[in-house]
Amino acid sequence: MKRVRLDQALVAKKLFDNVAAAQLAIDERKITVNGSIAVSHGYMVAPGDELLVIVAPKYVSRGGLKLEAAIREFAIDLSEKRVLDVGASTGGFTDCALQHGARQVVALDIGKNLLHEKLARDPRVVVIENTNGREIKRLVKKGDKIFGPRFDVATVDLSFISAREVLPAVKSAIKDDGILVLLVKPQFEATKAESDRGGGVIVDSVVHSRVNDEMTEFVRQMGCEIMGVIESPIHGHDGNREFLLVAKCARVAS
């Protein structure tokens, strides 16, 4: 069978609209031939060769896809909003918020040097490290320059502790009618026995439902209006099902 140039083959397979676009992708090392990075426009490929386009991740971590699902489902408008990202870690939620128009994101985490360097350099991002989420209420009360002005939206993604330990403090930082987006992780909200039963992986849908009901009631008792709960399209690293709870919150007395 006749071999053809790689750039022409990419167009013939409808991977690109034209040769120029295909060549640019080759120059950017975004094309593989049989698993190897292609470096030449004119590399001759056979009909049976596997041609793949390497797609760059949309966000710095998979967390961005989780927040994106909530933004779409509940039509959350982040344009020109100030966002507090609690448990920012690598910054998937932060990245997603910025790509959806956030004016500023305060990325808070108890750890250090976790945020992706792209975000750490971004002037729209304020990095708060070595800080427990419980400290937020104290910072709000003392009129801290970052936490004094309350936030339009707060996102919460925590591991190894129950979100209930931090949510009241987070809520104190949200504006009247501001939005709370909570990633519910049943493995950290269920009982130890339930979590241990699956080696840290919760597979029982009854437990999932109970945890979601409990978290929904907890957030409601804080004075928030529940907008809804959806399952995250992306599972946790251990295969755990996770859920996104979205609520509109009224301000609490300070």
Concatenated DSSP letters of 153-183: EEEE---SS-GGGTHHHHHTTEEEEEEEEEE
199-243 pLDDT, tens per residue? 889 989 999 999 999 999 999 999 999 999 999 999 987 889 999
Is residue 147 located within the same domain as residue 37? no
Return the percentage of the chain with pLDDT > 70, whole number: 98
Is residue 70 located within the same domain as residue 153? yes
Q: Would the pLDDT of 65 be above 60?
A: yes
| Strand 51-53 to 31-33 pairing | antiparallel
The reply to whether 105 falls in a domain is yes
Is residue 48 located within the same domain as residue 170? no
Whole-number Å distance between alpha carbons of 210 and 246: 17
Q: Would the pLDDT of 177 be above 50?
A: yes
User: What residues make up the domain containing 245?
Assistant: 63-249
Buried b (16+ CB within 10 A) or exposed e, 167-178: bbbbbbbbbeeb
Is residue 176 located within the same domain as residue 92? yes
The reply to whether 122 falls in a domain is yes
**Average pLDDT score over residue span 72-86:** 98
Is residue 78 located within the same domain as residue 150? yes
Band (pLDDT 50/70/90 cuts) for residue 251 is low
| Strand 82-86 to 151-156 pairing | parallel
Is residue 47 located within the same domain as residue 73? no
Tokens representing 145 are 């320059």
**Residue 244 φ then ψ, to 5°:** -115, 115
Is residue 45 located within the same domain as residue 73? no
pLDDT at 1: 63
C-alpha dist (Å) from residue 80 to 98, 103, 122, 124: 9, 4, 15, 11
The reply to whether 40 falls in a domain is yes
Is residue 19 located within the same domain as residue 126? no
Q: Would the pLDDT of 254 be above 60?
A: no
pLDDT at 38: 94
The reply to whether 254 falls in a domain is no
Band (pLDDT 50/70/90 cuts) for residue 198 is confident
The reply to whether 58 falls in a domain is no
Q: Please report, for the domain that includes residue 27, its CATH number.
A: 3.10.290.10
Domain boundary (31, 53, 75) is at: 53
pLDDT at 253: 47
Is residue 231 located within the same domain as residue 154? yes
Specify whether the CB–CB gap between 85 and 95 falls below 8 A: no
End-to-end CA distance of the chain, in Å? 76
Is residue 169 located within the same domain as residue 231? yes
Is residue 102 located within the same domain as residue 227? yes
The reply to whether 139 falls in a domain is yes
The reply to whether 114 falls in a domain is yes
pLDDT at 8: 96
Mean of pLDDT over the chain: 93
Whole-number Å distance between alpha carbons of 135 and 81: 22
Is residue 193 located within the same domain as residue 86? yes
Q: Please report, for the domain that includes residue 125, its CATH number.
A: 3.40.50.150
Q: How many domains does the chain have?
A: 2
